[in-house]
Chain A
Amino acid sequence: MAVLNRMDWYDLARSTNWTPNYVTEDELFPPDLSGGFGLPQEAWENYDEPYKQTYPEYVKVQREKDAGAYSVKAALERSRIFENADPGWKSVMKAHYGAIARGEYAAASAEARMMRFSKAPGMRNMSTLGCMDEIRHGQMQLYFPHEHVSKDRQMDWAFKAYDTNEWAMIAARHFFDDIMMTRDAISVSIMLTFSFETGFTNMQFLGLAADAAEAGDHTFANLISSIQTDESRHAQIGGPALKVLIENGKKEEAQKRVDVALWGAWKLFSVLTGPIMDYYTPLEHRKQSFKEFMEEWIVAQFERALTDMGLDLPWYWDIFLEDLKDTHHGMHLGSYYWRPTVWWNPAAGITPEERDWLEEKYPGWNDTWGQCWDVFIDNVVDGKMELAYPETLPMVCNMCQLPILGVPGKKWNVKDYPLEYNGRLYHFGSEVDRWCFEQDPERYAGHLSIVDRFLAGMIQPMNLEGALKYMNIAPG
């Protein structure tokens, strides 16, 4: 039997909008879930997805991808790569799995919202496949680390992290809840797929795949490149939605969503990926600095994507470019100093050779970040370990939930960006974090940061032991 070419039937088959008779359009597509932006169904029928794939094609390709990644894992299971891996590399895996694996299920739920509630038929089709992608990512990134749980208890955090109040997890959840769990279908497409996945998952997955291959961890390298091929497809869901919004006079609303999501993504990657690339990855395996990678893969890509779309660069673009050389150094110093509170073992990454590299990549590193590390190193050398551990909490940002920090030493510029709202004093790590909050204060105002929880007496006893217990860390 002759089979029609895909393009002869795809558009017709996926155009599943109809005119409801028994319910109103708002009942069929509740605005809070659909995010129609006041536009009728017809406007959304102009949504034109750049990546057209049918279900049989999808199944065939995905099956091959799964077979590839799982067979590499099976072949290397007895290879002792994990046992012989550099401790820095183990930390990379732990940080990655904990922060990402269960988030994939959250992403599946966000894709499912687009699948059911988007008024754009093309979006519903793409996110049907996207939802299955995310389920696959969740399954793989729980299954792959599982073989290491018996060797290293911290590997258990691949599954556990999301259910804890560990501070970095509070930050990750706050961001993912904001962009994917509590937004309408169209906003999800802009904030999750266009803003977060286009650039930043490329960052995490492409960058890490290269590092994994360098470190000899071919199982991990294959796993995440396999995931990345899905991401680069379903990350394209948001673009055509932005086009529809702009064509219908909704540029301002679209722009605001991009600006809020991009900033949150940047902050999360500054704590997750920044330290990995510039401190944990063994020196001989480093290809590019975090800043170089960001400039090549994120900055250039977004500048092009935003302009192509008819959007503006976020108003804070200059602040962002400036922060690329600073923020992640602070996130690293912070997570190292508060190292009992994370579920991996951060590598300090500051041997003389590594410091030379840092100084070369970030001129002035020794006069700023290096000044703090000098005191730290003296304490370790002099056996004053009590001074190398924290006795209080950092103040954290009420938007990104990460420590409020800046450049130390000779270029000291640390600053709080406070805001009084409804009688409560909020603190922010930057002008941009405060601006994000102010765009929709009621959305964020009720959330308690880890410091707010501590001051409210929710963490008992009020010391490191109580804090570790609250965060589900140690013992075990």
Chain B
Amino acid sequence: MALFPLGSNFEGDFVLQLIAIDTENTMDEVAAAAAIHSVNRRVRPRPDCIMRVRKQGATEFFPRDMKVADSGLMPTETIEIIWEKTT
């Protein structure tokens, strides 16, 4: 359990934002924490999608239940939060 800062690069938004999460958080929780600062502020919600997290520039998403502590991410590293269609 430790506070862990990341840079959130949210699909469709215009700016990187600082988010403080916990090393025990899963990637779904990370996406939700990032969404607070983008969705319904400058990005419209997309009910047909879930939010996935990946390292900036990666093609693969992190597994949704992976913990930040196990992700190999560095403090303040930039993650991309990407809409993924559920249908």
Give the B-binding residues of A (Cβ under 8 A): 330, 333-334, 337, 369, 371-372, 374-376, 379, 384, 387-388, 390-395, 403-409, 412, 414-416, 418, 425, 427, 451, 454-455
CB <8 Å contact, B76 and A408: no
CB <8 Å contact, A405 and B16: yes
Tell me whether A392 and B5 are in contact in the complex, defined as CB-CB below 8 angstroms, given that A376-B42, A412-B11, A455-B76 are known contacts.
Answer: no
Across-interface contacts of A406 in B (CB, < 8 A): 14
Q: Does B26 contact A (CB under 8 A)?
A: no
Across-interface contacts of A388 in B (CB, < 8 A): 41
CB <8 Å contact, B42 and A427: no
Partner of A395, one of B14, B18, B36, B42: B18
CB <8 Å contact, A416 and B7: yes
CB <8 Å contact, B18 and A405: no
Nearest-Cβ distance from residue A430 to partner chain B, whole angstroms:
12
Measured between alpha carbons, how far is A416 from B74 in the docked complex, in Å? Answer: 14
Across-interface contacts of A333 in B (CB, < 8 A): 14-15, 42
Q: Does B19 contact A (CB under 8 A)?
A: yes
Across-interface contacts of B37 in A (CB, < 8 A): 390-392
Nearest-Cβ distance from residue B9 to partner chain A, whole angstroms:
5
CB <8 Å contact, B74 and A393: no
Across-interface contacts of B78 in A (CB, < 8 A): 395, 416, 418, 427
Across-interface contacts of A394 in B (CB, < 8 A): 15-18
Nearest-Cβ distance from residue A444 to partner chain B, whole angstroms:
17
Partner of B15, one of A387, A414, A418: A414
Across-interface contacts of A379 in B (CB, < 8 A): 40-41
Across-interface contacts of B12 in A (CB, < 8 A): 371, 408-409, 412
CB <8 Å contact, A372 and B43: yes
Measured between alpha carbons, how far is A290 from B63 in the docked complex, in Å? Answer: 44
Q: How many inter-chain contacts with C-beta < 8 Å in the A-B complex? A: 102
Cβ < 8 Å to A, chain B residues 21-50: 36-37, 40-44
CB <8 Å contact, B42 and A375: yes
Across-interface contacts of B16 in A (CB, < 8 A): 394-395, 403-405, 414, 416, 427
Across-interface contacts of B5 in A (CB, < 8 A): 455
The secondary-structure label for the interface of chain A is mixed
Give the A-binding residues of B (Cβ under 8 A): 5, 7, 9, 11-20, 36-37, 40-44, 56, 74-78
Most chain A CB atoms below 10 A, which of B5, B12, B19: B12
Interface pairs (22), CB distance under 8 Å:
A333-B14, A371-B42, A371-B44, A372-B13, A375-B40, A379-B40, A384-B40, A392-B18, A392-B19, A392-B20, A392-B37, A395-B18, A395-B76, A404-B7, A405-B16, A407-B14, A416-B16, A416-B78, A418-B78, A427-B16, A451-B18, A455-B76
Nearest-Cβ distance from residue A419 to partner chain B, whole angstroms:
12
Across-interface contacts of B20 in A (CB, < 8 A): 392
Across-interface contacts of B13 in A (CB, < 8 A): 372, 408, 412, 414
Measured between alpha carbons, how far is A266 from B76 in the docked complex, in Å? Answer: 26
B19's closest neighbor in chain A, by CB? A392
Measured between alpha carbons, how far is A375 from B41 in the docked complex, in Å? Answer: 6
Tell me whether A392 and B17 are in contact in the complex, defined as CB-CB below 8 angstroms, given that A415-B9, A416-B56, A455-B5 are known contacts.
Answer: yes
Nearest-Cβ distance from residue A262 to partner chain B, whole angstroms:
24
CB <8 Å contact, A330 and B42: no
CB <8 Å contact, B18 and A404: no
